[in-house]
Amino acid sequence: MADRNGVPRRKPVPPPSGQQLPEGWASDLTVAFRRKLSTKRMNELTRRSSSQRRSSSRVPTDFFTDNRQPPPLPSRHGFDASSQPPIPSRQAPVSPPPQLPLPPPQAPPEYESLKNLPSIPVAPNDSKSLRFRSMLMSLSNTPCRWENPGLLDEALGVVPLQRIYDQAQEESDLFMAEAASLGPHFKPAWGYQDCVVRALMKWFKQEFFEWVNNPLCATCHTRTIAHGMAAPLPDEQARGANRVELYQCANQQCLSFERFPRYNDAFVLLQTRRGRSGEWVNCFTMLCRAVGSRVRWVWNAEDHVWAEVYSVHRKRWVHVDCCEGQWDTPLLYSQGWGKKLSYCIAFSADGCCDVTRRYVRNPTDHAAPRNRCSEGVLSHIIREITAMRRRDMDKKEKFRLNADDMREDAELRKVIIEALAFNVSRILPGGDGGPRNDPDAQKAAEARSSAVTEVRRGVDRKQHTGSRDPRQQ
Ligand SMILES: [Zn+2]
């Protein structure tokens, strides 16, 4: 199974035995590696592409409309964000939190995101829910646009693969040495393929892609001032830009206009190599796919996007924010930036998942109201998208993906139950109320302090704070 997602480790370099390695040894290896990746993707994608085409052309309204659809719950059980937490019923089995003593003096914390626990799917039937459904359906196409073996291969042409594989090998060796030093039963923190994505992110952020707020004037290189939107030119439209921001040079002698087309085609972005989080994550996630990883594109309702990459080594999805250069720091937004999050929905070429619980561990402090639709409706939409993506897969593949989903659900339940237990213990008499001894929280704090350092260095990061201009995504 590791073969399907994981890129096989490179053969170790032969130990120096006095004789030189043949000329071109490394580049031959790179070519062979790329060929292997390409074949792997080809097999995977050709098997899927015909079925994807078939399923995407169907109108996906009939998935849960047969007798599998349960009757709607009484409104008291509707998981509406404005109502109190639902009472778990026999119809909606919810894992009970561990038996903990009740905190007597203070009111117990409200656990909004416990409402994200899988609930009975209910088909959307009001205009607000239908609008949300149609938006999610449309967002769900993003990762499918990358599933083109030819374009993915071409994309690798811009990546200094040899350097990235070398760095990955070096880091992977370090992780192995570290594990070996701890004892025979320790596993390296990350595997080789994880290290490939880490090296890719470093290169992407430091050398390849450029962050643009207001583009500089092309004539005199002075800063520009936002001047509204413009209609896309035929060339811009042909390359997929439906929105073009217009800027005017601040230099009174110049006053030239500068156009900033917002491209959302990852392959076009390989050429333009600039943008904000939307462009960054689109292009970077496609490249992660190109180097053979399973990827997700995560949409957050509070105006941010990021990626998740599946770690075969850790058997779980890993948060990756290429704009921030952050790896496996899911609490960056809530505990690091102090943002409140409502929905974080992950889309991939083979499904859809509500991953909010990974990013919001303490709903009292960091959950924003989830009021775009009821939780039952959201669950229905997510199942609908997943069913659409998996419709024509063979049984074995579906079974494997379902097992992954169940493992992830158990993981997400566990983090919420741990957070619940921690917060209850904190408000009990004698609870320390101090910072949580949680490695994820620790990393979020580190990420925050490194962001502060960068601000001090003069890097403009205001677009990443809660108060940033929503147009700056
Ligand atoms: Zn100018």
Query: Between 58 and 285, where is the model more confident?
Result: 285
Question: What is the rounded CA–CA span in Å between residue 301 and residue 323?
Answer: 18
CA of 254 to the centre of ligand 1 (A): 5
Ligand 1 centroid – CA 258 distance (Å): 9
Q: Which CATH architecture has domain 127-158+276-461?
A: Roll (3.10)
Per-residue pLDDT, 44: 64
CA of 140 to the centre of ligand 1 (A): 40
CA distances to 218, 236, 273 from 257, in Å: 9, 16, 20
- Per-residue pLDDT tens over the stretch 22-62: 556 556 666 676 667 666 665 665 565 544 444 443 333 33
Confidence of residue 2 (pLDDT cuts 50, 70, 90): very low
- The C-alpha atoms of residue 466 and residue 360 are separated, in whole angstroms, by 15
Fold of 213-265: N-terminal domain of TfIIb (2.20.25)
- In angstroms, the CA 349 to CA 49 distance is 10
Q: Report how far ligand 1's centroid is from the alpha carbon of 334 (Å).
A: 39
Query: Once rounded to an integer, what is the mean pLDDT over residues 466-471?
Result: 35
- The domain limits of the chain are 127-158+276-461, 213-265
Identify the band that residue 451 occupies on the pLDDT scale cut at 50, 70 and 90. Answer: low
248 CA to centre of ligand 1 in angstroms: 8
pLDDT at 367 over 50: yes
247 CA distance to ligand 1 centroid (A)? 10
CA of 252 to the centre of ligand 1 (A): 8
The average pLDDT across 102-112 equals 45
DSSP 430: T
230 CA to centre of ligand 1 in angstroms: 18
Distance of CA 280 from the midpoint of ligand 1 (Å): 26
CA nearest neighbour of 116 among 80, 74, 73: 80
Q: Residue 360: how many CB atoms within 10 A of its CB?
A: 29
| Alpha-carbon dihedral 404, 407, 413, 417, rounded to 10 degrees | -150
Q: How far is the CA of 302 from the centre of ligand 1 (A)?
A: 34
* Predicted confidence (pLDDT) at residue 195 exceeds the cutoff of 90: yes
Check pLDDT > 80 for residue 409.
Answer: yes
Q: What is the mean pLDDT of residues 444-470?
A: 46
Confidence at residue 117, expressed as pLDDT on a 0 to 100 scale:
54
Question: Is the Cβ–Cβ distance between 401 and 157 less than 8 Å?
Answer: no
Band (196; pLDDT cuts 50, 70, 90): very high
Is residue 420 very low, low, confident or very high in pLDDT (cuts 50, 70, 90)? Answer: confident
Residue 347: which residues within 8 A CB-CB, separation 6 or more?
Answer: 139, 140, 142, 143, 296, 297, 298, 299, 385
| 100 CA to centre of ligand 1 in angstroms | 65
Burial of 22 (0-12, 13-18, 19+ CB in 10 A): exposed
- For 203-219, how does the pLDDT look when each residue is reduced to its tens digit (9 = 90+)? 999 999 999 999 999 99
| 425 — pLDDT class (breaks 50, 70, 90) | confident
| pLDDT mean over 259-276 | 95
Tokens of 445: 């704090």
Report pTM. Answer: 0.72
